[in-house]
């Protein structure tokens, strides 16, 4: 169809429809990050589309665009804050960098960022985050399940005696999970598009991290994401060390300090600790566990992976 001066009044009415057709044709064949790279299903970018964006652009989300130059400048600042042993995931760095802008758009809406003081901005972000987790509560059933799973570590206390304390202890962790799920849902509510070729190069780099290398070893893998400030992590530590001495020749055991390796923690969905991941001898996912688990349960899991 051709438009001329004679039918110019028709063109404006048809233009939106034509643009929609062009957009659909452009994105119809685009795969999401998790479709192309299933191991990235825990990423906040999981539902993002991989496309050929204009040269120099790494990400587009609504009116937000992150260029290679923007990102490079951000990376230079971040590298000064990281130790030499930190595995750097530039995809996760892009995620954190762009997420701040995406959330800003959600928080500010009609307000201008330039017209707000730093304290006012912090207050708005805090209010926004609190609104997401405001309704989080721990049910009696959830508390009882936790009690049964950890009964051996809770002494001789009756469940009803410590139910309130358990709920208070579990609520921050559940709030963190709800917040993480909210962040992941942003990709579904605000279409995010990533530069396909750049993502491919970053995924090749991702394959060089210690967990991915261990998955190629031909042995089962047990990954323990922990932190020095985490009480349950420290209770688990001697158990893991003992298991490594007994079964280290049959299974690869990796203990990841989440403060030193925050990109690995983020990339594998470790939002609460300890977080335990398992892979079979073929490198396939074989389940995960959140929170402390007694040695007997770990031995049962090891046995299911062929470790005797």
Catalytic residues, by residue number, are 230, 233
| Maximum CA extent, the chain | 88
Which uninterrupted H or E stretch holds 63?
A: none
Chain centre distance of CA 13: 43
In angstroms, rounded to a whole number, what is the distance separating the alpha carbons of residues 49 and 60? Answer: 10
Chain centre distance of CA 156: 37
CB 47 within 8 A of CB 30: no
Burial (0-12, 13-18, 19+ Cβ within 10 Å), 86: middle
Token pair listed for 200: 């491919």
> DSSP state, 208?
T
Count how many Cα atoms sit within 13 Å of the Cα of residue 127 in the half-sphere of its side chain: 10
């Amino acid at each position: 169809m051709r438009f001329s001066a004679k039918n110019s009044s028709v063109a404006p009415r048809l233009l939106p429809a034509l643009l929609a057709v062009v957009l659909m044709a452009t994105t119809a064949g685009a795969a999401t990050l998790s479709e192309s790279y299933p191991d990235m299903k825990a990423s906040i970018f999981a539902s993002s589309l991989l496309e050929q964006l204009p040269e120099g652009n790494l990400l587009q989300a609504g009116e937000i665009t992150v260029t290679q130059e923007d990102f490079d400048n951000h990376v230079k600042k971040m590298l000064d804050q990281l130790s030499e042993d930190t595995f750097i995931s530039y995809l996760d760095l892009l995620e954190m960098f762009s997420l701040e802008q995406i959330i800003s758009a959600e928080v500010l809406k009609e307000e201008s960022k330039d017209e707000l003081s730093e304290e006012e901005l912090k207050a708005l972000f805090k209010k926004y985050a609190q609104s997401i987790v405001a309704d989080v509560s721990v049910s009696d059933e959830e508390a009882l399940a936790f009690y049964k799973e950890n009964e051996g570590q809770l002494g001789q206390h009756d469940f009803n005696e410590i139910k309130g304390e358990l709920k208070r202890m579990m609520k921050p962790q559940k709030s963190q999970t709800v917040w993480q799920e909210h962040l992941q849902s942003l990709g579904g509510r605000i279409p995010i598009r990533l530069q396909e070729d750049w993502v491919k190069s970053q995924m090749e780099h991702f394959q060089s991290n210690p967990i991915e290398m261990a998955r190629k070893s031909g042995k089962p893998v047990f990954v323990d994401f922990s932190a020095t400030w985490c009480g349950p992590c420290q209770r688990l530590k001697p158990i893991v060390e003992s298991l490594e001495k007994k079964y280290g020749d049959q299974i690869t055991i990796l203990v990841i300090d989440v403060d030193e390796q925050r990109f690995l923690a983020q990339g594998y969905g470790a939002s609460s600790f300890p977080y335990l991941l398992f892979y079979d001898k073929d490198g396939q996912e074989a389940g995960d566990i959140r929170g402390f688990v007694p040695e007997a349960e770990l031995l049962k899991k090891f046995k299911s992976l062929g470790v005797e």
